[in-house]
């Protein structure tokens, strides 16, 4: 009399185990899918050391966009600062403009830049005009007007732009715009000849009145220069002349035109007879 009940119970147990196994399989499957999606959507962590050959990038952008008026490429982006390449077309002009918050320092990478700057002086406006070549730095603070010209009709102009706080676009103005009276006098730095750097024979670091005093220029004839970069506060280095090596876990060659983003401690050493000059920018945490 009890046989049918035993059969039903056994069948029920088999079904229960089947449901449990199926539930476990579905749970594991869903977890695997979620983990895969999370991994695919995760932003990769920035490397400890990044090196950009900026002149080579300029040539690549110029060849890819030979008829463009403006081309840009970003190398560093953070809450407090940006660094990007601005390539101006042949015969191109970037009209007079200001930045309301951003301090800007531009290093010429390739070509010749004609720069017109306007700022406040006493009860009026002062201005300067200059022509600058590779390695030279031109700095403009907030509300200091600046216009850029590439007079060459056969070659593009490459500019490496450091901005702090990060670049937020251009506000174009007329030549008599009263807002430029709030601007401070601009700053220009021309790297010294290699012989002058070698004569110093040691490390000389000179603070520059640019980017809220977060930029310096280093001349290295002998010895080492220590870079205290971290993930929270990286250090950026742009080389203008000389040859050397960077030790940051491993040794890598340093040459003119390189932009280094260092998120760890590093050491720079010049090669004998090839003194280094480079700009150092500390955007802060």
Q: What is the pLDDT of residues 265-279, one digit of tens each?
A: 999 999 999 999 999
Is 48 among the domain residues? Answer: no
Is 47 among the domain residues? Answer: no
Same domain, 120 and 100: yes
- For residue 21 the two structure tokens come to 């196994």
Looking at residue 15, its pLDDT comes to 75
Q: Which residues of 168-188 are buried (b: 16+ CB within 10 A; e: fewer)?
A: eeeeebeeebeebbebbebbe
The reported pTM is 0.84
Looking at residue 7, its pLDDT comes to 59
Is 167 among the domain residues? Answer: yes
Q: The domain containing residue 28 runs over which residues?
A: 1-42
Query: pLDDT-derived band of residue 20, with 50, 70 and 90 as boundaries?
Result: confident
Looking at residue 40, its pLDDT comes to 56
Query: pLDDT-derived band of residue 134, with 50, 70 and 90 as boundaries?
Result: very high
Under 8 Å between Cβ of 268 and 225: yes
Same domain, 26 and 107: no
Same domain, 153 and 65: yes
> In terms of pLDDT, which residue wins out, 173 or 26?
173
Of 137, 168, 189, the position where a domain reaches its end is: 189
Same domain, 210 and 253: yes
- For residue 244 the two structure tokens come to 């050397």
Is 15 among the domain residues? Answer: yes
Is 82 among the domain residues? Answer: yes
Is 49 among the domain residues? Answer: no
Is 250 among the domain residues? Answer: yes
Same domain, 176 and 260: no
Total domain count, the chain? 3
Residue 148 predicted with pLDDT over 70? yes
Same domain, 182 and 222: no
> In terms of pLDDT, which residue wins out, 111 or 11?
111
> Regarding beta strands 145-149 and 203-208, do their DSSP bridges make them parallel or antiparallel, or are they unpaired?
unpaired
Residue 5 predicted with pLDDT over 60? no
Residue 198 predicted with pLDDT over 60? yes
pLDDT digits (tens, 9 = 90+) for 201-229: 688 999 999 999 999 999 999 889 999 99
Cis peptide before 31 (omega within 30 of 0): no
Same domain, 63 and 159: yes
SS3 assignment for the chain: CCHHHHHHHHHHHHHHHHHHHHHHHHHHHHHHHHHHHHHHHCCCCCCCEEEEEHHHHHHHHHHHCCCCCEEEEEEEECCCCEEEEEEECCCCEEEEEECCCCEEEEEEEECCEEEEEEEEECCEEEEEEEEECCCCEEEECCCCEEEEECCCCCCCEEEEEEEECCCCCCEECCCCCHHHHHCCCCEEECCCCHHHHHHHCCEEEEEECCCCCCEEEEEECCCEEEEECCCCCCEEEEEEECCEEEEECEEEEECCCEEEEECCEEEEEEECCECEEEEEECCCC
What average pLDDT does the chain have? 91
Of 189, 219, 243, the position where a domain reaches its end is: 189
């Amino acid at each position: 009399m009890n046989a049918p009940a035993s059969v039903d119970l056994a069948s029920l147990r088999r079904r229960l185990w089947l449901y449990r196994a199926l539930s476990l399989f579905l749970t594991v499957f869903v977890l695997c899918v979620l983990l895969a999606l999370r991994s695919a959507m995760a932003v990769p962590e920035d490397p400890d050391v990044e090196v950009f050959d900026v002149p080579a990038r300029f040539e690549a952008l110029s060849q890819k966009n030979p008829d463009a008026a403006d081309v840009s490429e970003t190398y560093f982006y953070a809450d407090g600062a940006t660094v990007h390449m601005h390539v101006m077309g042949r015969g191109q002009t970037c009209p007079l403009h200001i930045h309301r918050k951003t301090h800007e320092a531009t290093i010429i990478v390739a070509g010749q830049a004609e720069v017109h700057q306007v700022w406040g002086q006493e009860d009026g406006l002062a201005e300067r005009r200059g022509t600058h070549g590779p390695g030279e730095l031109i700095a403009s603070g907030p509300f200091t007007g600046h216009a850029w010209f590439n007079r060459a009709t056969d070659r593009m102009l490459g500019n490496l732009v450091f901005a702090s706080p990060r670049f937020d676009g251009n506000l174009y103005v007329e030549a008599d715009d009263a807002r430029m009276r709030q601007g401070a006098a601009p700053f220009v730095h021309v790297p010294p000849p290699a012989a002058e750097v070698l004569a110093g024979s040691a490390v000389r670091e000179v603070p520059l009145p640019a980017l809220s005093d977060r930029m310096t220029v280093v001349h290295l004839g002998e010895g080492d220069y220590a870079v205290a970069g971290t993930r929270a506060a990286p250090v950026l280095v742009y080389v203008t002349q000389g040859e050397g090596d960077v030790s940051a876990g491993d040794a890598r060659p340093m040459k003119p035109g390189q932009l280094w983003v260092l998120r760890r401690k590093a050491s720079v050493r010049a090669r004998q007879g090839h003194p280094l000059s480079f700009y150092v920018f500390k955007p802060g945490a």
